């Protein structure tokens, strides 16, 4: 993937010309004039807005908005198109979290569409002879595949808030899969990074290594198998994936991974059953809510840790006037708040069906205040920081043993949508690792997830309960943080989210504080160089911070750093006066994102 160019913390400037022109999709029903629509990172206009990592996907959402669909309809269409053009990051073989704002009632609701472990799974899912298997062996295996949640999420969202049939919304993606999209540098490089393991599976190699070679930049990539699968879901509904022939094909693929016999690769089989698929449900649930600077910040409750961890960090930062802080002090406080919130995440957050998660207490201001007093302006906390006890807050107190941050695949994707009625969707979806499990369902055109590797393979310590061990039907803890911020009157201010594994939380937190506290325009808050601290001994820095005087200033306090070429890839929408929307996406990361509006502002 492309690396971010060097840039100052202040901004990557976006010209007024780009902002005023905006971006829009081709007329409804018409074939795009350009097979590779131009990516524009910011657009302003009327009638609704879509921001995603991909121009074809954003155009699919705009097409639905033009045809009278609402934000939920457009989000489903955009997600389905991303399953075509970003197949290594998401698809119907994965899951995600859907946050919806209803303008009429001024309320936020969410859907947990996280993948689930098989009903036969237990805490020893990834143990052999009493020891955890190698992470790489778990990733590329049937053992890592959870029951997909994405199709059920789409249908649950449409049943609750949509206005159009799923079949209608799948049409742009079906067309895109059938006719093809233009291969860019990011798609080729992600294929290259997976080439070795893709070749272990003939069906995956046939699809993603056409003619036995990497796809060529500028060529047209087609996926007729996925087009047929989408057409089947359009006819039969998403139940076809959870019951019947397609369900059986998924189960057979997971339990007997179709490995090339000549490869010698041992793809451990899974234990997925037809019962697992038939029993799956996407869950409607209340969002997390945090009050910050007089605004309401809404996000995902567990099984995701995103809402509680971002919310706790914001509460910790509430006492500091970040708008007046120097850049060094701002980053120092942001890093330390992240460190503390991740300490509590590791100890307390898991699937609430199985674990007693004190989400309300984690989000209380009194608990945040008891943790905030650990932060000093002239010193750095030593990681790993021990967790606190949110049920019994005590000033500057920590208790127990710190749990390590489990690895989470970074190639998730995020999309953000608004419509002309003022409804908003913030939706993060994934298949976990770049390329998921590497296993394609034969003849179906989509990769299966490796989401179960988000579980802890073994307890961090025998003395401490780990809330994220596998269990039957359990959802692994996630960091996905799709977020919507409302003003005091219950109207949207901004909505955003990001991919990036555990760094999703820090990306959303840094982008929110950059926009809300530091006064950066949304596209600049998204573009600003990132730091990510997840209760580890060192903090990750992107190159622009690594090579800056800010790093020197932070090191003088005691911070330690390691270089990360790229952290996250956010998108967002911002409500402007008089029915106008601003859509914003990355300027550089992952090759840049795509912001579009229905009618660009003059």
> Cα 541 vs. chain centroid, distance in angstroms?
20
> Cα 192 vs. chain centroid, distance in angstroms?
22
**Phi and psi dihedrals of 417, rounded to 5?**
-135, 145
239-249 per-residue burial string, b: 16 or more CB within 10 A, e: under 16 = bbbbeeebbee
As to burial, measured by CB atoms within 10 angstroms (0-12 exposed, 13-18 middle, 19+ buried), residue 485 is buried
Taking the C-alpha atoms of residue 238 and residue 248, their distance in angstroms, rounded to an integer, is 14
Taking the C-alpha atoms of residue 559 and residue 541, their distance in angstroms, rounded to an integer, is 11
Taking the C-alpha atoms of residue 224 and residue 218, their distance in angstroms, rounded to an integer, is 19
CB 570 within 8 A of CB 52: no
From 147, 150, 253, 412, active-site residue: 412
**Phi and psi dihedrals of 440, rounded to 5?**
-95, 135
Q: In the β-sheet with 539-541, what is the strand arrangement from edge to edge?
A: 531-532, 539-541, 561-563
Q: Which two three-digit tokens encode residue 278?
A: 């038939």
Cis amide bond preceding 384, omega within 30: yes
**Closest of 432, 428, 382 to residue 406, by C-alpha:** 432
Please indicate whether residue 147 is annotated as part of the active site: no
CB 483 within 8 A of CB 390: no
Taking the C-alpha atoms of residue 262 and residue 280, their distance in angstroms, rounded to an integer, is 36
Place of tokens 């990355």: 586
Q: Which residues, listed in sequence order, are joined to residue 414 by a DSSP beta bridge?
A: 428
**Closest of 151, 155, 164 to residue 74, by C-alpha:** 164
List Cβ<8 Å contacts ≥24 apart for 325-331: 327/9, 327/550, 328/550, 328/553, 328/554, 328/557, 329/377, 330/513, 330/517, 330/518, 331/531, 331/550, 331/554
Taking the C-alpha atoms of residue 377 and residue 533, their distance in angstroms, rounded to an integer, is 17
Taking the C-alpha atoms of residue 353 and residue 115, their distance in angstroms, rounded to an integer, is 14
- Which positions are annotated as active-site residues? 412
């Amino acid at each position: 993937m492309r690396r971010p160019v060097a840039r100052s913390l202040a901004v990557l400037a976006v010209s007024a010309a780009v902002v005023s022109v905006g971006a829009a999709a081709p007329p409804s029903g018409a074939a795009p004039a350009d097979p590779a629509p131009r990516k524009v990172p910011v657009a302003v206009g009327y009638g609704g807005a879509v921001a995603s990592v991909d121009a074809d996907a954003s155009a699919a959402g705009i097409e639905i908005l033009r045809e009278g669909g609402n934000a939920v309809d457009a989000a489903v269409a955009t997600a389905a198109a991303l399953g075509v053009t970003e197949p290594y990051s998401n698809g119907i073989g994965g899951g995600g979290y859907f946050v919806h704002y209803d303008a009429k009632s001024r309320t936020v609701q969410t859907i947990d569409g996280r993948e689930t472990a098989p009903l036969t799974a237990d805490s020893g899912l990834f143990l052999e002879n009493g020891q955890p298997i190698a992470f790489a062996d778990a990733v590329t295996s049937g053992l890592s595949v959870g029951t997909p949640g994405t199709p059920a999420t789409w249908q649950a969202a449409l049943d609750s808030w949509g206005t159009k049939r799923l079949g209608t919304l799948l049409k742009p993606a079906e067309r895109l899969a059938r006719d093809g999209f233009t291969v860019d540098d990011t798609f080729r490089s992600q294929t290259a990074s997976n080439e070795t393991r893709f070749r272990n599976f003939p069906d995956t190699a046939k699809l993603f290594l056409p003619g036995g070679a990497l796809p060529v930049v500028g060529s047209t990539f087609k996926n007729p198998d996925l087009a047929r699968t989408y057409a089947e879901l359009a006819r039969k509904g998403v139940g076809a994936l959870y019951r019947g022939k397609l369900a059986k094909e998924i189960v057979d693929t997971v339990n007997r991974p179709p490995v090339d016999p000549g490869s010698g690769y041992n793809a451990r089989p899974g234990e997925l059953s037809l019962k697992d698929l038939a029993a799956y449900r996407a869950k409607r649930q209340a969002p997390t809510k945090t009050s910050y600077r007089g605004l309401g910040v809404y996000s995902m409750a567990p099984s995701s840790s995103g809402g509680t961890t971002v919310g706790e960090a914001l509460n910790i930062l509430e006492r500091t006037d970040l708008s007046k802080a120097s850049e060094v002090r701002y980053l120092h406080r942001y890093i330390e708040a992240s460190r503390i919130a991740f300490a509590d995440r590791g100890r307390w957050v898991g699937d609430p069906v199985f674990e007693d998660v004190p989400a309300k207490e984690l989000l209380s201001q009194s608990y945040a205040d008891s943790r905030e007093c650990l932060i000093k302006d002239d010193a750095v906390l030593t990681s790993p920081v021990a967790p606190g006890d949110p049920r019994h807050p005590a000033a500057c107190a920590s208790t127990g043993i710190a749990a390590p941050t489990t690895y989470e695949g970074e190639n998730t994707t995020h999309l953000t949508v608004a419509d002309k009625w003022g409804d908003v969707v913030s939706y993060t979806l994934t298949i976990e690792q770049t390329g998921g499990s590497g296993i394609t369902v034969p003849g179906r055109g989509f990769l299966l997830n490796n989401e179960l590797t988000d579980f802890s393979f073994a307890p961090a310590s025998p003395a401490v309960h780990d809330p994220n061990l596998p269990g039957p039907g359990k959802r692994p803890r996630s960091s996905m943080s799709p977020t919507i911020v409302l003003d005091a009157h219950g109207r949207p201010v901004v909505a955003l989210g990001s991919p990036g594994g555990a760094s999703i939380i820090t990306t959303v937190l840094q982008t929110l504080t950059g926009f809300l506290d530091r006064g950066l325009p949304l596209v600049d808050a998204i573009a600003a160089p990132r730091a990510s601290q997840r209760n580890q001994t060192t903090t990750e820095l992107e190159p622009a911070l690594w090579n800056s005087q800010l790093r020197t200033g932070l090191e003088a306090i005691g911070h330690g750093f390691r270089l990360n070429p790229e952290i996250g890839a956010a998108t967002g929408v911002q409500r402007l006066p008089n029915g106008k929307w601003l859509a914003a996406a990355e300027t550089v990361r992952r090759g840049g994102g795509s912001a579009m509006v229905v009618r660009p502002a003059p």
